[in-house]
Structure 1
Amino acid sequence: MASRDLAESLLPVGGGAATATATASAHDEYDERAYDSDDKVSIAVSDSDSEDGGGDAMRPAFSWRKLWRFTGPGFLMCIAFLDPGNLEGDLQAGAAAGYQLLWLLLWATVMGALVQLLSARLGVATGKHLAELCREEYPPWATRALWAMTELALVGADIQEVIGSAIAIKILSAGTVPLWGGVVITAFDCFIFLFLENYGVRKLEAFFGVLIAVMAVSFAIMFGETKPSGKELLIGLVVPKLSSRTIKQAVGIVGCIIMPHNVFLHSALVQSRKIDTNKKSRVQEAVFYYNIESILALIVSFFINICVTTVFAKGFYGSEQADGIGLENAGQYLQQKYGTAFFPILYIWAIGLLASGQSSTITGTYAGQFVMGGFLNLRLKKWLRAMITRSFAIIPTMIVALFFDTEDPTMDILNEALNVLQSIQIPFALIPLITLVSKEQVMGSFVVGPITKVISWIVTVFLMLINGYLILSFYATEVRGALVRSSLCAVLAVYLAFIVYLIVRNTSLYSRLRSAMTKST
């Protein structure tokens, strides 16, 4: 009730009877939704396409025009595969392992595609996004715990993304704008987001399309100037190689691909189109086109990641700089190595990094709105929700920018801690997702089959083991003091208990245990 009262106080109000009508309407249509009906994009390409068809009719024939209407959400989703954290993982993998980990990058992208396709399927089939469905599926205490975990993951990702943008601004300004100044500039991207959102979903998607194109062109130019070996590239893609000295980079590649907030984001983005969820043929059509455009978007992101990895594999694998290369000094190393063939490669790198940072920070703001609104059922004004979600990340990022130097070794420890922070949140996105897409009561006829379900659980367990290795590695090398270690062990016990709860909650074992406990009391 408190959240409803808060929402009503923030909704536009009038006077007299109009106020009463608005209040009644707010109560009737209170539940938070990803998009208002007026904001959704029509996917009809002809008058006959809008006509009422049978609920169980076959999916309409393929149409390029319709694919274009559905194109957009997948490209916003793929930005999480291209954020500064991913770029840093790519360049470090290339510098430390050469072309040896390209096969892992390929399969990590395939695993990420599976997760994102399930997320899109959930959003289309139910007409609700993952955060909303979690609120309905789990008890209030678990819902709020999931919200807190997702917000922590968002903050961790956003700090890295904002710092990436600030580094790019510092490079492009030749050091005139300090790191904290770049953070301030990046903080205002939420106003760009609000400005574009007022002009409609398609304008916003076009803006992100331009940023992805800037990244693709920038890193393709770098690829052309450095000329990595095509033969080594192909061998790296098809021949699995992994050694003990590259295990850290391998874990980094896999860990960076699956971003918890991106799973929530994609299930909301697919609701930006007008789809009649009461008609099976229309839902089938939407799932079909979203699958195509998501795969196309991830192919683009994979191309960009390949360009970055191979450029640094060609230039720095086996060199003295390989172990110390990062986002800020990468451009300087490239400049020293390759100079200016077409355009200063330092600035090409900075432009691509800036596009990566800006696009990912804005989509982070977007995801934060859906996460907050869905879990807490808060229907706030857009500007207020954007400011709240932006503040969650900008305040800690400003503290980082003021007290840490990007070349300080402490920044590396902080960056590793942020990676761990995001890694531990992955189960709280993937387990609810697989649980929901496997429930016929939620998905209806679009429930996933047993093979997809088994593969999804295998991927989830694999990712949890990979990230468990990252957590244990950080714990062993960076955590000091008996008190701190014992406290973290207690937190870890609660963490694992919550994961077990999420896994077994919908099993017959849990039902029997709960029934037995009820009888005993």
Structure 2
Amino acid sequence: MGMDARIPQKTDPAVAGRGWRLANSEPSLSDVFGSIRVRRSGTFWGKLLAFLGPGYLVAVGYMDPGNWATSLAGGSKFGYALLSVALISNIMAIILQSLCARLGVGAGRDLAQACRDAFPKWVSWPLWLFAEIAISATDLAEIIGTAIGLNLLFGIPLEIGVLITALDVFLILALQALGFRWVEAFVVALLGVIAACFAIQIALANPDWGAVIRGFAPTTEIVRNPDMLYLALGILGATVMPHNLYLHSGLVQTRGYGSSEAEKREAIKLSTIDSTFALCLALTINASILILAAATFNAAGNHDVAELDRAHALLAPMLGSAGAPTLFGIALLCCGLNSTVTATLSGQIVMEGFINIRIAPWMRRLITRAIAIVPAALVTIWYGPKGSGELLILSQVILSLQLPFAIVPLVMFTGSRAKMGVFVAPRWLTLAAAVTAAVVIILNAKLVLDFIAGG
């Protein structure tokens, strides 16, 4: 899977459809477009290996620091009962991300380009603005999560930790200079560290595995108990993040899969397998957070643990190991670092896709980082840890508000034969995606209304 093996992947109107207002003028992520070689022959597993990577970058968004609070709260308050909600959320994510792969390969467009090419400017430009706000909110959550990780591990004040996160721009630039496979390897390595940290902590916690298995089966109690329902809505509503939809539809095009119908169909299949495997890993890690909270906090009678720093402080006495809080902090820090990488890439896809303006990746990174760092630094300096937590919640609300503007166009485009040609999504998949979209949007709307009413 060497680099610099760029293979033209032009959109064939006869294959990809003619229903676009504008032609697709520039490839997505042009600096790495088609740069990873895909073998034309060989075994299935050899071909799949070339496609493994983008899904794991996408999976990062499903386990970012903003999702940890809901898993901690759900496990500490209701034990293993909400594991079924995590499973359902993951199934929804798999459906939507499969459509992203189909759009990127079949139409030769990322979601931002598709919006630009399908809608008039008075529609696409507001969509671009909403997407930029959402990515800034995403970056904001990752900054705070990383800063909390630095604070827990090294005692670095939150306001200093927020400023330190700006240095990750140099790490990302160095990895991109080596090749896109290095970016993917970095993300996968950190995911491995996160998984190992939770595996050790769960082994120390020794959960009730029978209750864990039963927790994956949905129960009517979730609907009947208002408090449980609220946390279930939080887990479901925070699952799909807008930037992941833009990100995946661009990342799949880093593979040099060719331009024929057969090659693209195979690329869609292999990319979908990649994202499905990766999201199963995300489910494992999210479930691990909930299981850990259930086996420690809930079992000990602590039913109101949702803050990351409080969870960190309680782990040592409950697990009987001084190293448990350190493992928790390492996992959180790795999670924050990973998320900043994906936020950068999705920011590049959105800016270039919507307004067709190309700027250097380092400039793109500095712009998004500055937009996110300023409010994070001001709040943490002025209000301290409490303000950081409130800012983290606000960032999730902003993401919820933006979600319909990303998820609805995705389902519309991939279900349109005029735009997708022979790669149009099957009707059953479009129906499943439409139901998923409706559920996620309704739940997000409820969370936003609850936030407003509670504020």
Q: Aligned partners of 2:33 and 2:228: how far apart in 1?
A: 51
Match of 2:37, SS state, is coil
Q: Aligned partners of 1:62 and 1:139: how far apart in 2?
A: 44
Q: Aligned partners of 2:24 and 2:96: how far apart in 1?
A: 31
Paired residue for 2:50, among 64, 69, 77?
Answer: 69
Could you tell which deviates more after superposition, 331-340 or 113-122?
331-340
Normalized against structure 1, the TM-score is what? Answer: 0.79
Partner of 2:38: 43
| Residue 415 (structure 1) shift | 3.2
Paired residue for 1:31, among 26, 35, 38?
Answer: 26
* Counterpart AA for 1:85: G
The answer on whether the counterparts of 1:131 and 1:374 sit within 8 Å (CA) in structure 2 is yes
Partner of 1:254: 236
Matches within 5 A, 1:404-415: 404-406=383-385, 408=386, 410-415=387-392
The answer on whether the counterparts of 1:164 and 1:357 sit within 8 Å (CA) in structure 2 is yes
Q: Aligned partners of 1:29 and 1:235: how far apart in 2?
A: 49
Note if 1:87 corresponds to 2:68: yes
CA deviation map 1:151-184 (0-9, x unaligned) = 12112222121111111111111x2x11111112
The answer on whether the counterparts of 1:30 and 1:379 sit within 8 Å (CA) in structure 2 is no
Matches within 5 A, 1:54-453: 63-173=44-154, 175=155, 177-240=156-219, 241-242=221-222, 243-277=225-259, 279-317=260-298, 321-340=302-321, 344-406=323-385, 408=386, 410-453=387-430
Q: 1:159 to 1:303 in 2, by over 3 A?
A: same
Partner of 1:58: none
Note if 1:458 corresponds to 2:435: yes
CA deviation map 1:111-164 (0-9, x unaligned) = 011001100110011222110110111111211111111112112222121111
| Residue 319 (structure 1) shift | 5.4
Q: Aligned partners of 1:38 and 1:454: how far apart in 2?
A: 31
The answer on whether the counterparts of 1:32 and 1:379 sit within 8 Å (CA) in structure 2 is no
Could you tell which deviates more after superposition, 234-243 or 63-72?
234-243
Q: Aligned partners of 2:25 and 2:380: how far apart in 1?
A: 40
CA deviation map 1:79-106 (0-9, x unaligned) = 0011111122211111122111100100
* Counterpart AA for 1:303: T
| Residue 32 (structure 1) shift | 5.7
* Counterpart AA for 1:349: F
Partner of 1:483: none
Note if 1:473 corresponds to 2:447: no
Q: Aligned partners of 2:380 and 2:30: how far apart in 1?
A: 35
Match of 1:81, SS state, is coil
CA deviation map 1:213-236 (0-9, x unaligned) = 010001111111101110010111
Partner of 1:16: none
Question: Please, what is the CA RMSD of the aligned residues?
Answer: 1.9
Largest Rg, 1 or 2: 1
Q: Aligned partners of 2:194 and 2:274: how far apart in 1?
A: 19
The answer on whether the counterparts of 2:71 and 2:289 sit within 8 Å (CA) in structure 1 is yes
Q: Aligned partners of 1:455 and 1:63: how far apart in 2?
A: 28
Could you tell which deviates more after superposition, 240-249 or 261-270?
240-249
Could you tell which deviates more after superposition, 263-272 or 380-389?
380-389
| Residue 475 (structure 1) shift | 1.8
The answer on whether the counterparts of 1:83 and 1:357 sit within 8 Å (CA) in structure 2 is yes
User: How many residues end up aligned between the 2 structures?
Assistant: 430
* Counterpart AA for 2:310: N
Match of 1:466, SS state, is helix
Could you tell which deviates more after superposition, 368-377 or 450-459?
450-459
Normalized against structure 2, the TM-score is what? Answer: 0.91
Match of 2:384, SS state, is coil
* Counterpart AA for 2:28: R
The answer on whether the counterparts of 1:96 and 1:318 sit within 8 Å (CA) in structure 2 is no
Q: Which runs of 5+ in 1 are unaligned?
A: 1-27, 50-60, 479-521
The answer on whether the counterparts of 1:77 and 1:266 sit within 8 Å (CA) in structure 2 is yes
Q: Which runs of 5+ in 2 are unaligned?
A: 1-22
* Counterpart AA for 2:165: T
Partner of 2:16: none
The answer on whether the counterparts of 1:369 and 1:389 sit within 8 Å (CA) in structure 2 is no
Q: 1:247 to 1:404 in 2, by over 3 A?
A: farther
Give identity over the alignment, percent. Answer: 33
The answer on whether the counterparts of 1:39 and 1:201 sit within 8 Å (CA) in structure 2 is no
Q: 1:365 to 1:220 in 2, by over 3 A?
A: same
* Counterpart AA for 2:185: A
Q: Larger relative CO (CA 8 A, sep 6+): 1 or 2?
A: 2
Match of 2:28, SS state, is coil
Q: Aligned partners of 1:127 and 1:291: how far apart in 2?
A: 16
| Residue 460 (structure 1) shift | 0.9
Q: 1:73 to 1:88 in 2, by over 3 A?
A: same
The answer on whether the counterparts of 1:32 and 1:373 sit within 8 Å (CA) in structure 2 is no
